[in-house]
Structure 1
Amino acid sequence: MLAHVKPHDPYEDLPPQARSLHRRALVFDAHADTLTEMTDREYDLDLGPGGTHLDLARCAQGVLDAQVLTCFVSPKCLPDGSARRVRALLDTMDRQLARFPDRVALCLEPGDVQAARASGRLAGVLAIEGVHAIEDDLGLLREFRRRGVRSMTLTWNNSNGWADGCGDEGPHGGLTSLGRDVVATMEQLGMVVDVSHAARSTFDDVLDVASGPLLASHSCARALRDHARNLHDDQLLAIAAGGGVACVNFYPGFLVREGPARLSDVLDHMDRFIDVAGPDHVGLGGDFDGIPAGPVGLEDVGALPRLTAGMLERGHDEAVVEAVLGANLLRVFDGALERVSSEAAAGAAASGASNITCANAQRVEPDAPDHGAAT
């Protein structure tokens, strides 16, 4: 549980079981656009201005232990401003780490999320939204990985030189040859491949190429809301078959066709994910600070205990709730890094080195093919 929790309990109306479980569980969300808000509106995590969804006070109120902080790059930054934008967003994260060393931690290695939580700090995991951010250059992918990025979506809504997105008529029919290279390189670097925003053709190609578990960081159930950003049941099954996690988005437009969305709608989509994929393959992907407003009853991260109470009220046992709140997502991120650490250690052993550890192995980038800039 994070330090600096207010002395009173803002959720004293919730059942004691829900309050206790929420404090005990690891709460880990897979997608927030807070870095974009902080960069553009020039504020820090200690105090979010009106209209934002995530700051340190509300993380403490909602007992949010870990958050994937996404570097969103608008297609308007193309063709040559995307990398500059990512660097600016990463600089914002560096500023938070410098300002709040006792309250925020950047997680790079297996075990870092749990270590941050144990020390009372918000565990931050960095991601990029849209491979167009690397400007057709795998060298930029390696640069951003060195700066802490551990996951990336292959597209935003737009298609790019690597893959087709869900929001346009993609020209490629899925992954390009360069897109296949970027998936392979991400896995070599211990980065989690995120299929949210991908066109169906891209999703299917990723299944053929990827060897590790996949993440859908912020999507909903297509069976409940027919939207191009949502996942069909067979996609949920495919993610589960590979050991991955599909995370429910809180954006009202993905939850319901019209009218205000409510906490109950989030729970409906969560139930669908659990029924189809199984409880070990579902997580939270709120999209806070990337959506205009959250559902009624789940307006910001401070309201997350109500989600726990809602799951219990619907009959899910505590083990299922703990898995969905964060244990599943932790498994995917730690697993990707552990595979790279094991491969690095095995390679070092084969070459005669005997003192490679998980920590120092991660300071050396694994070899990756250098295909240069795409044309």
Structure 2
Amino acid sequence: MAGLALLLAGCATTSAPAQKSHRDFLTLDTHLDTPIHFARPGWSFAGHHDPAADLVQVDLERMDSGALDGGFFAIYTEQGPLTAKGYADALAFARKRSDLIDTTLAAFPNRIDFAMTAEDARRIDRMGLRIAFKSMENSYPLGEDLSLLEDFHDRGVRLAGPVHGANNQFADSSGDTPKWNGLSPLGRKWVEEMNRLGMVIDASHASDAAFDQMLELSKTPLLLSHSSGREAFDHPRNLDDGRIRRLAAKGGAICVSTIFLSNMNMTPERAALFTQYEHIADLSPEQQADLARKWRALDATQPMWAADFERYMAMVLHVIQVAGVDHVCFGADWDGGGGLPGIADISALPKVTERLRQAGYSDADLAKMWSGNILRIVEAAERAAR
């Protein structure tokens, strides 16, 4: 009987598996602006970059330390004039940026690989490599020729948004005065073509009306690649609770960002540094280091955001409560203005998992939020295209 008691005690001890660590989850971020750094002279994506002298927030070393398995590397194109020349210049830039992503990441075949499908991502993860999807932030480079969407699909783009910080030929921006009252007629056709190609629609940066219309028109779930909740901070870039619930009801997900949890303290000095940052690849290594020093000094005296890790996690928990664990993911806007004290780059990601654990979320919940919801939406787009 004593032996049986010991056996039963042993079974009780081993019946509950240990919780997974952050490193055990497949983790993806849906919006990495890191390609802005890829053409910097003397810079390597695999190198060590001292935060005091370099502004980059994502590199292979940090992906290892923060256990970020991969994400969507963005082809971001600045909004320009809605003219034939504006479109042509933007198209040339976007193609060049796409090629730069390809050549930069292809230099590390034993560390990172490109994913075209959700199953690719899982396969690459099983191989022990980092995962690179491609996305398109702002469809402005397409001009009025929607056949160019297929060109970018062929280049590996699987996630795209119609608009950025200003209205364009497809849609109204959340940061501009309404022109189309949502989508333009061409923007509605853009939604159809995105569905046909099996590309996921990214509604971040779109106006409320454009979001509403994309949600209604799209045959597949929407993703917001880097957006916050408006109830946490009232800003047009953020999504209100009612729209978050409607997004979830249609199978979509909001990938929570670190930006716009407060007003943006864009002083003239900060704006000048941002202009330099947007053209960082044109600076010498010495100028790059000088930019970083000035940026960090300004962070110490005039922070860009009046928020920190605690504020971020409060907002994350609110969005989870509203949307549910099946409709939340992460897209902090790394290298595009994101990052806060306590979550300054991707090496801090394990802290997010730890805090979600403390809030009572399970392994299954965390697996969904770190990548499961994203891959489910990618697969939904794939199925619709087939």
Query: Which category of TM-score, normalised to the shorter sequence, fits these structures?
Result: 0.7 to 0.9
Which residue type is aligned with residue 109 of structure 2? P
1:285-333 Cα shifts (integer Å, max 9, x gaps):
1110001x51112111111111101111222233222221221111111
**Matched letter for residue 187 of structure 1:** N
Q: In the alignment, does 2:49 pair up with 1:31?
A: no
Aligned 1:67-86 pairs, distance under 5 A: 67-76=71-80, 78-86=86-94
From 296, 306, 319, the counterpart of 2:364: 319
Cα-to-partner distance string for 1:312-364 (whole Å, 9 max, x where unaligned): 12222332222212211111112212332xx2xxxxxxxxxxxxxxxxxxxxx
How far residue 42 of structure 1 moved from its aligned partner, in angstroms, is: 6.6
Q: 1:97 to 1:224 in 2, by over 3 A?
A: closer
Shift of 1:98: 2.6
Q: 1:237 pairs with 232, 245, 248, which one?
A: 245
For 1:257 and 1:167, the matched residues in 2 are separated by: 14
SS in 2 for 1:128: strand
Kept after mapping to 1: 8 A contact 2:263/2:306: no
Unaligned ranges ≥5, structure 1: 1-16, 344-375
Question: How many Å separate the matches in 2 of 1:66 and 1:297?
Answer: 21
State whether structure 2 residue 223 is matched by structure 1 residue 223: no
SS at 2:74's partner residue?
strand
Please report how far the alpha carbon of residue 48 of structure 1 lies from its aligned counterpart in structure 2 after TM superposition.
Answer: 6.2
Displacement of 1:261: 1.9
Given that 1:59 and 1:65 are in contact with CA atoms closer than 8 Å, whether structure 2 keeps it comes out as yes
Query: Which of 252, 265, 269 is the aligned partner of 2:311?
Result: 265
Whole-Å Cα distance in 1 between the matches of residues 88 and 159 of structure 2? 22
Residue 36 of structure 1: how far off its partner (Å): 1.9
Residues 184, 42 of structure 1: alpha-carbon distance in 2 compared, 3 angstrom cutoff: farther
Deviation per residue, 1:29-78 (Å, 9 max, x gap): 11110112223567342126411100000000011112111111001473
SS of equivalent to 2:214: helix
Runs of 4+ in structure 1 over 6 Å off: none
Distance 1:111 1:309 in 2: 28
Structure 2 CA distance for aligned equivalents of residues 218 and 41 of structure 1: 29
Give a deviation string over 1:143-173, Cα, whole Å, max 9, x none: 1110000011111011111111111112111
Which letter maps to 1:230?
Answer: N
Distance 2:183 2:249 in 1: 21
Distance 1:45 1:186, change over 3 A: same
Q: Which amino acid aligns with 1:27?
A: T
2:262 is the alignment partner of 1:256 = yes
Distance in 2, Cα, partners of 1:194 & 1:42 = 33
Q: Indicate how the Cα distance of structure 1 residues 48 and 255 shifts in structure 2: closer, same or farther if over 3 A, else same.
A: farther
Which amino acid counterpart does residue 172 of structure 1 have in structure 2?
Answer: W
1:197 lines up with 2:205 in the alignment: yes
Q: Deviation of residue 21 (structure 1)?
A: 2.5
TM-score of the pair, normalised by structure 1: 0.82
Cα distance in 2 for residues equivalent to 1:185 and 1:222: 30
Q: Which amino acid aligns with 1:243?
A: G
Number of residue pairs aligned between Structure 1 and Structure 2:
321
Q: Equivalent residue of 1:124, what SS? A: strand
* Conserved? CA contact 2:118–2:375, under 8 Å: no
* Mapped partners of 1:250, 1:87: distance in 2: 28
Is residue 60 of structure 2 the alignment partner of residue 52 of structure 1? no
Rounded Cα–Cα distance in structure 1 between residues aligned with 2:318 and 2:195: 29
Matched, 1:154 2:162: yes
In the alignment, residue 229 of structure 2 is paired with which amino acid? A
SS at match of 2:36: helix
Match of 2:294 in 1: none
* 1:109, distance to aligned residue in structure 2 (A): 2.4
Select between 277-286 and 70-79 the one with higher mean Cα deviation. Answer: 70-79
Q: Distance in 2 between matches of 1:41 and 1:155?
A: 30
Q: 1:326 to 1:59 in 2, by over 3 A?
A: same
> Secondary structure in 1 aligned to 2:226?
strand
Percent identity among equivalent residues?
32
CA contact (8 A) 1:83 1:134 kept: yes
CA distance in 1: counterparts of 2:373 and 2:39, whole angstroms: 30
Check conservation: 1:280, 1:323, Cα contact below 8 A: yes
SS of equivalent to 1:275: helix
8 Å CA contact retained: 2:38, 2:44: yes
Letter in 1 for 2:67: V
5 Å matches for 1:123-142? Answer: 123-142=131-150
Q: Does 1:214 align with 2:222?
A: yes
Taking the aligned partners of 1:44 and 1:186, their CA distance within structure 2 comes to 34
> Contact 2:117 / 2:378 at 8 angstroms: preserved in 1?
no
Asked if 1:290 is matched to 2:336, the reply is: yes
- Matched residue, 2:22: 22
CA distance in structure 1 between the partners assigned to 2:251 and 2:198 by the alignment = 16
Taking a change above 3 Å as real, the CA distance of residues 48 and 159 of structure 1, as seen in their structure-2 partners, is: farther
Larger CA deviation: 326-335 vs 212-221? 326-335
Identify the match of residue 182 of structure 1 among 186, 190, 195.
190
Change (3 A) 1:167 1:182: same
- Mapped to 1, the partners of 2:48 and 2:90 lie a distance apart of 26
RMSD over aligned Cα atoms: 1.7
Query: Which moves more between the two structures, 73-82 or 234-243?
Result: 73-82
TM-score by length of 2: 0.79
Whole-angstrom distance in 2 between the partners of 1:209 and 1:330 = 21
Unaligned segments of structure 2, at least 5 residues: 1-17, 265-304
> Does the 8 Å contact 1:26/1:322 carry over to 2?
yes
Query: Residue type matched to 1:296 in 2?
Result: P
Cα distance in 1 between the residues matched to 2:113 and 2:354: 28
Cα distance in 2 for residues equivalent to 1:42 and 1:226: 41
